[in-house]
Chains A and B, each alone.
Chain A
Amino acid sequence: MLLGRVATGDVTALRLVYDEHAPRAMAIARRILRNVEEAEDIVQETFLELWRRAPQFDGQRGGLCAWIVTIARSRAIDRLRSAGTAGRALDGASSSPDVYPTSPPSPIVETERRLTESKVADALATLPPEQRHTIQLAYFDGLSQSEIAAKTGSPLGTVKMRVKLAVGKLKTLLKDDFS
C-alpha cells in the first residue's frame, strides 16, 4: 500500500500521494482561507504531517483522501481562528464558491468529481434550509457553532442540534459513496 511505503520513508510514494490528493487539500484550504498563498502553506503543512504520521494511519477509520481532507481542513480552520481572520470569513460567508482549477483535470477525474458534486448537492438539497445553511457555514466557511449562532441569530443549542441532525442525514444519504 502506498501509505505503507510513505511510513517507511519512501519520498517517491509521498510524491504519488501528493499528486493524487494535494488538489483536494488545496481546494478545501482555499475555500476556507480564501487566499492562495495561505492555502498552499496549508497543503505543505498537511503533507509534512502526513509524512510524520503515516505509520499511525488507520485504514479502518476511512480512506486516505478523507484523512488528508480532514488534516487540511483542520489546519485551515486553526489558521483562520488563530490569525483572527474569522471576521473575514463571517463577512464573506456563504458567498459563491471561488475556487477554480489551475489546470484542466482529466475527463475521468472531472466526470467523477461532477458525479460526487451532484450527489453532495442533491444530499444537501434534501436538508431543511436552516440545516443546509448551518452546514455550509460550518464546513465551507470554517465557522464554529458559536460563530454560526452569532451570525444567524439562532440560539446556540439550536445550531448544535442542526449540525447533529444534518450530519446524521448526510451520513445516510451519502452512505453508498463510502462503500
Chain B
Amino acid sequence: MTCDEFKELAAAYALVALDAQEQSACMQHLAARLPHRGCQEAVAEAELVAARLGAALIPQRPSPQVWREIAAHLHEDRGSSPLADDAARRRGLYHLCGWLVAATLVGLYLYNAPLDRRIMQREAGHGGVVAGPGH
C-alpha cells in the first residue's frame, strides 16, 4: 500500500469503517518504518473529526462499580506490572538523587562554615595590621 492509497482510506480507517482486511493493511502501512507522506496526519485529522462527533452525545456516568473494577485490576497488576516497577524505580531514583543533593549541600555548608570563620578572622587580623601604621 502506498501513502496515497492509504490517505484514500484514512477517513474510513479513523472511523473504524473498513473491513477487516483493509483495516489490517492500513495498520501495517502505518506501522511500516518508511518515509510516510502525511499518513499519520491524515489519520489524526480524521480521528479529531470522529472525536468531535462523539462529543455531541449526552455524556453518561458509568456505575461506580466500573471504577472499582478498574482499581482492583490496577491493584492486582501493580506487583507485576513493568509500568509500576518502572515508576517505583524512578521514584526511588529521584529520592536517592534528592538525598545526595541534600547531603552534598550540607557537606559544603559544614566545610565552608569554619573556613569562612577562619577567613574572617584572618581578614580581621590583617585589617588590624594594615590599619596600624596609619595611626
- A interface with B by C-beta (< 8 Å): 7-11, 14-15, 18, 22-24, 26-28, 30-31, 39-40, 43-44, 47-48, 51-52, 55, 61-63, 65-67, 69-70, 73-74, 77, 97, 99-103, 105, 109, 113, 116-117, 120-121, 135, 138-140, 142-146, 148, 160, 163-164, 166-168, 170-171, 174, 177-178
- Could you tell me the distance in whole angstroms from the C-beta of B83 to the nearest C-beta in chain A? 6
Contact A144 B83 (CB under 8 A): no
Contact A174 B50 (CB under 8 A): no
Q: List 6 A-B contacts (CB under 8 A).
A: A9-B84, A11-B71, A61-B44, A144-B19, A160-B9, A164-B12
B67-79 interface bits toward A, Cβ cutoff 8 Å, 1 = contact, 0 = none: 1011101100010
Pick the contact of B57: A24, A65, A109, A163 (CB < 8 A): A24
Question: Given known contacts A26-B62, A139-B50, A144-B18, what 13 new A-B pairs fall within 8 Å (CB)?
Answer: A24-B54, A62-B47, A62-B51, A69-B51, A70-B47, A73-B54, A74-B16, A120-B55, A135-B15, A145-B12, A166-B11, A167-B11, A167-B15
Residue among B14, B70, B84 with most chain A CB within 10 A? B70
The CA-CA distance from A99 to B79 in the complex, in Å, is 38
The CA-CA distance from A62 to B43 in the complex, in Å, is 10
Main secondary structure of the interface of A (DSSP, over half): helix
Contact A65 B55 (CB under 8 A): yes
* Chain B residues touching A, range: 35 or more
Chain B residues near A51 (CB, 8 Å)?
Answer: 70, 74, 83
B124: Cβ under 8 A from any A Cβ:
no
Chain A residues near B45 (CB, 8 Å)?
Answer: 171
Contact A163 B15 (CB under 8 A): yes
Chain A residues near B54 (CB, 8 Å)?
Answer: 24, 27-28, 69, 73, 139
